[in-house]
């Protein structure tokens, strides 16, 4: 009798355990895209879901797939975790080779285990902590030369040129360097303009965007946790967009409650500030959608207390109904767990007409969702300064069709002088260049 | 052939059992205290502490539980009493609850509440009842009668 009870409870326990591990997504990311995404109910898992493709890299001759009418080429390979790209006025392209400073202490058993599992993805590889300069040869060969431009940085990500000053956002400070057109290496050491929040650095990238008048820098600072599990005191000046005054280095919080704003750009038609952001994990394969949104001065976007407007997240305690009440709903869902890390409003005219006037998004790809989502560069069309339709996959094939192996993952985006789309691939250690087919 | 009297091997196993068996119990009681404190204070330090305590408790429970398993079900040198079997099942269920609890503690922040408290109470209660029943019936902790 006792034995029957025990074996029954054991069977039930195992069944619960298995179901906890096998939760499948029900929405295709495109079905959850747009301004009114369907949001299923939140639920806690028994074990955090993890699906991580094994990193194999790009085998010789292999490259991502592009949409019809486009072609793709590698303009630099063998890099060390190229994370962000930035085009200089003379046509040179800067590449920040960078990864997490790995300063986050292990404070839970879960971090120990998750660290081991996710390391197989190649996303944890060491970054070179430098900026490399790529220059297209003038001999018509289409080849690009590679120079070490600035070395010995500290997890750099954002880069902006204002006049003849190059600003680089390390994970702990904004540095300024004197830039001379045509230089291929920076000999002058950087001078700190201002420090940036650098404790724990759960989300370590510091996105950077200069105001059109060149007087302010906007900095995307990610949160120090998924949803406040490291305590809310370490979230001081985190999960926000900071505005830094270039003349004084003084800064203020421009907008708050954005969990991880990794890409900041001006929407060309309206001149408004837009951001892509990574939302919270572990309450469902289809929650919470990552988003693309306009960023309002003084606005609060919910993290950690609520998501997508007023959907309260009870994991963040103590709760703040006053903050939930004023949380702004983001403009546009890109899909859950796609991990948007790059944003670029395309203004060139090399790519076909359907890719003009909107934004490209570099989706680094999920690690806690089945099936995988992201692992693509998508295009979101804009009309009258607002995103419309669903994100269109433009560059894909960063993972194998069976989702078992990963070759690369797109991050930062820019366009070069010829109007080509340039993509940093930090897992594949390559910089890709997309142009119109036959061009 | 199984000897009727205790061998050195079985005495060694019991010494190890007595040495290790109190450790998981203490760690699970600690987990319960931390879980309740987290539920009340909402200070994440307690939740993270509880996650380590329940994981360590499970780690230290492996050897004494294997010894108990062998003692109750495998080494048939004498008749095993109903109390010893009850103690075995109570401990097994308590450990299963603790395994679930370790998974629950992998959630972020307040997502562990209130399941963490419920599972901690179940584990401590089952282990306590087992210990108490064994004690009431004049058994030594590993389930052997006093001489």
What is the band of A367 on the pLDDT scale with cuts at 50, 70, 90? confident
B117 lies in a domain? yes
B123 lies in a domain? yes
CB-based contact, B81 to chain A, within 8 Å: no
pLDDT tens figures, A50-106: 888 999 999 999 999 999 999 999 999 999 999 999 999 999 999 999 999 988 899
Residue A295 distance to chain B (closest CA, Å): 27
What is the band of B147 on the pLDDT scale with cuts at 50, 70, 90? very low
CB-based contact, B12 to chain A, within 8 Å: no
Q: Using the beta-carbon criterion (under 8 Å), do B51 and A2 form an inter-chain contact?
A: no
Nearest one of A82, A153, A159, A195 to A433, comparing CA atoms = A82
Question: With a cut of 0.85, is the ipTM above it?
Answer: yes
Question: Which residue of A lies nearest to B89 if distances are taken between CA atoms?
Answer: A6
pLDDT > 60? residue A425: yes
B26 lies in a domain? yes
What is the band of B81 on the pLDDT scale with cuts at 50, 70, 90? confident
Q: Using the beta-carbon criterion (under 8 Å), do B109 and A229 form an inter-chain contact?
A: yes
Selected for mutation to probe chain B from A13, A16, A110 (highest B CB count within 10 Å) is: A110
Q: How many domains does chain A have?
A: 1
pLDDT > 90? residue B80: no
CB-based contact, B59 to chain A, within 8 Å: no
pLDDT tens figures, A109-157: 998 888 777 777 777 888 999 999 999 999 999 999 999 999 999 999 9
> Are A133 and A166 in contact, with CB atoms under 8 Å apart?
no
pLDDT > 60? residue A3: no
A4 lies in a domain? no
Q: State whether the Cα torsion A236-A239-A240-A246 is positive or negative.
A: positive
Selected for mutation to probe chain A from B31, B44, B123 (highest A CB count within 10 Å) is: B44
Selected residue with higher pLDDT from B140 and A437 = A437
Specify the pLDDT at position B6: 55
What is the band of B1 on the pLDDT scale with cuts at 50, 70, 90? very low
Residue B101 host element (H or E): helix B82-104
Query: Using H for helix, E for strand and C for coil, what is the string for A348-379?
Result: CCCCCHHHCCCEEEEECCCCCCCCCCCCEEEE
Specify the pLDDT at position B77: 64
Residue A202 distance to chain B (closest CA, Å): 14
pLDDT tens figures, A18-56: 444 446 788 887 889 999 999 999 988 888 778 889 999
B14 lies in a domain? yes
CB-based contact, B73 to chain A, within 8 Å: no
pLDDT > 80? residue B139: no
Least confident of A102-106, A204-208, A349-353: A102-106
Residue B44 distance to chain A (closest CA, Å): 6
Q: Using the beta-carbon criterion (under 8 Å), do A13 and B51 form an inter-chain contact?
A: no
Specify the pLDDT at position A57: 95
Q: DSSP letter string over A298-345?
A: T-B--TTTEETTTEE-TTSSS--HHHHHTPPPPSEEEEET--EEEEEE
Residue A314 distance to chain B (closest CA, Å): 7
pLDDT tens figures, A214-267: 999 999 999 999 999 999 999 999 999 999 999 999 999 999 999 999 999 999
Residue B69 — left, alpha, or beta (φ > 0 → left; ψ -120 to 50 → alpha)? Answer: alpha
pTM of the model: 0.92
Q: Which domain holds residue A265?
A: 53-436
A15 lies in a domain? no
B107 lies in a domain? yes
A19 lies in a domain? no
Q: Using the beta-carbon criterion (under 8 Å), do B109 and A107 form an inter-chain contact?
A: no
pLDDT > 90? residue B90: yes
> Are A296 and A274 in contact, with CB atoms under 8 Å apart?
no
Q: Using the beta-carbon criterion (under 8 Å), do A315 and B86 form an inter-chain contact?
A: no
A202 lies in a domain? yes
Specify the pLDDT at position B140: 57
What is the band of A414 on the pLDDT scale with cuts at 50, 70, 90? very high
Residue B100 distance to chain A (closest CA, Å): 7
CB-based contact, B52 to chain A, within 8 Å: yes
Q: Using the beta-carbon criterion (under 8 Å), do B100 and A107 form an inter-chain contact?
A: no
Q: Using the beta-carbon criterion (under 8 Å), do A44 and B92 form an inter-chain contact?
A: no
Q: Which domain holds residue B93?
A: 8-136
Least confident of A99-103, A220-224, A327-331, B123-127: A99-103
Q: Using the beta-carbon criterion (under 8 Å), do B93 and A9 form an inter-chain contact?
A: yes
Question: Which residue of B lies nearest to A9 if distances are taken between CA atoms?
Answer: B93
CATH number at residue A212: 2.120.10.30
Selected residue with higher pLDDT from B10 and A203 = A203
B60 lies in a domain? yes
Specify the pLDDT at position A23: 65
Q: Using the beta-carbon criterion (under 8 Å), do A109 and B42 form an inter-chain contact?
A: no
> HSE on the CB side for A188, CA within 13 Å?
12
pLDDT > 60? residue A4: no
pLDDT > 50? residue B142: no
Nearest one of A224, A213, A168 to A194, comparing CA atoms = A168
B92 lies in a domain? yes
Q: Using the beta-carbon criterion (under 8 Å), do A110 and B106 form an inter-chain contact?
A: yes
pLDDT tens figures, B41-74: 999 999 999 999 999 999 999 999 999 999 899 8
Compute the CA torsion angle B60, B61, B62, B68 (nearest 10 deg): 140
Q: Using the beta-carbon criterion (under 8 Å), do B108 and A13 form an inter-chain contact?
A: no
Q: How many domains does chain B have?
A: 1
The separation between CA B53 and the C-alpha centre of its own chain, rounded to angstroms, equals 13
Contacts of B112 (CB under 8 A, 6+ apart): B35, B38, B47, B50, B104, B105
92-121 in B: which are within 8 Å (CB) of A? 92-93, 96, 99-100, 102-111, 115
pLDDT tens figures, A264-298: 999 999 999 999 999 999 999 999 999 999 999 99
A–B interface: beta-carbon pairs under 8 A: 79
Question: Which residue in the set A2, A13, A231 is minimally distant from B44, CB to CB?
Answer: A231
Selected for mutation to probe chain A from B72, B86, B106 (highest A CB count within 10 Å) is: B106
B3 lies in a domain? no
pLDDT > 60? residue A311: yes
> Are A62 and A359 in contact, with CB atoms under 8 Å apart?
no
What is the band of B78 on the pLDDT scale with cuts at 50, 70, 90? low
Selected residue with higher pLDDT from B6 and A364 = A364
Question: Which residue in the set B44, B47, B106 is minimally distant from A48, CB to CB?
Answer: B106
Contacts of A65 (CB under 8 A, 6+ apart): A395, A396, A397
């Amino acid at each position: 009798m006792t034995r029957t009870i025990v074996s029954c409870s054991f069977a039930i326990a195992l069944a619960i355990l298995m179901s906890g591990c096998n939760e499948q997504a029900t929405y295709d990311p495109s079905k959850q895209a747009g301004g009114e995404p369907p949001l299923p109910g939140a639920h806690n898992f028994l074990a955090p879901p993890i699906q991580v493709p094994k990193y194999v890299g790009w085998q010789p001759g292999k490259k991502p797939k592009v949409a019809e009418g486009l072609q793709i080429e590698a303009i630099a390979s063998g890099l060390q975790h190229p994370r962000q790209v930035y085009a200089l006025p003379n046509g040179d392209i800067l590449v920040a080779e960078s990864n997490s400073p790995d300063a986050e202490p292990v404070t839970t058993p879960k971090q120990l285990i998750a660290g081991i599992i996710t390391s197989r993805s190649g996303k944890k590889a060491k970054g070179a902590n430098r900026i490399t300069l790529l220059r297209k040869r003038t001999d018509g060969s289409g080849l690009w030369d590679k120079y070490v431009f600035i070395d010995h940085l500290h997890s750099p990500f954002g880069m902006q040129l204002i006049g003849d000053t190059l600003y680089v956002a390390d994970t702990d400070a904004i540095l300024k360097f004197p830039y001379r057109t045509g230089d291929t290496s920076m000999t002058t050491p950087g001078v700190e303009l201002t420090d940036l929040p650098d404790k724990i650095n759960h989300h370590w990238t510091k996105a950077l965007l200069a105001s059109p008048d060149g007087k302010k820098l906007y900095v995307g600072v990610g949160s120090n946790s998924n949803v406040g599990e490291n305590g809310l005191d370490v979230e001081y000046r985190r999960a926000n967009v900071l505005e830094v005054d270039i003349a004084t280095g003084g800064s203020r919080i421009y907008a708050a409650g954005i969990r991880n704003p990794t890409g900041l750009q001006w929407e060309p038609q309206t001149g408004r500030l837009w951001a892509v952001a990574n939302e919270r994990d572990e309450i469902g394969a289809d929650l919470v959608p990552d988003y693309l949104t306009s960023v309002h001065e003084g606005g609060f976007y919910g993290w950690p207390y609520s998501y997508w407007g007023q959907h309260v997240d009870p994991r963040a305690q103590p709760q703040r109904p006053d903050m939930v009440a004023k949380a702004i709903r983001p403009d546009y869902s890109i899909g859950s767990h796609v991990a948007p890390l790059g944003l670029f409003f395309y203004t060139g005219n090399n790519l076909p007409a359907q890719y003009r006037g909107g934004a490209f998004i570099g989706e680094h790809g999920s690690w806690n969702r089945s099936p995988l989502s992201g692992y693509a560069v998508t295009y979101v069309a804009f009309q009258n300064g607002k995103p419309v339709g669903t994100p269109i996959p433009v560059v894909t094939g960063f993972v194998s069709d069976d989702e078992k192996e990963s070759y690369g993952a797109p991050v930062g985006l820019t366009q070069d002088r010829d109007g080509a789309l340039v993509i940093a691939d930090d897992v594949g250690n390559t910089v890709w260049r997309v142009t119109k087919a036959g061009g | 052939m199984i000897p009727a009297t205790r061998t050195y091997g079985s005495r060694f196993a019991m010494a190890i059992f007595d040495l290790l068996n109190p450790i998981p119990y203490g760690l699970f009681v600690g987990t319960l205290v931390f879980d309740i404190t987290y539920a009340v204070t909402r200070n994440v330090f307690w939740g993270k502490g509880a996650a380590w305590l329940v994981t360590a408790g499970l780690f230290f429970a492996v050897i004494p539980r294997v010894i108990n398993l062998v003692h109750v079900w495998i080494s048939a040198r004498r008749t095993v009493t109903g109390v010893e079997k009850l103690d075995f099942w109570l401990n097994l269920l308590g450990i299963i609850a603790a395994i679930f609890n370790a998974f629950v503690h992998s959630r972020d922040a307040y997502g562990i509440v209130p399941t963490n408290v419920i599972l901690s109470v179940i584990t401590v209660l089952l282990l306590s009842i087992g210990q108490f029943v064994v004690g009431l019936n004049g058994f030594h902790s590993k389930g052997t009668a006093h001489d």
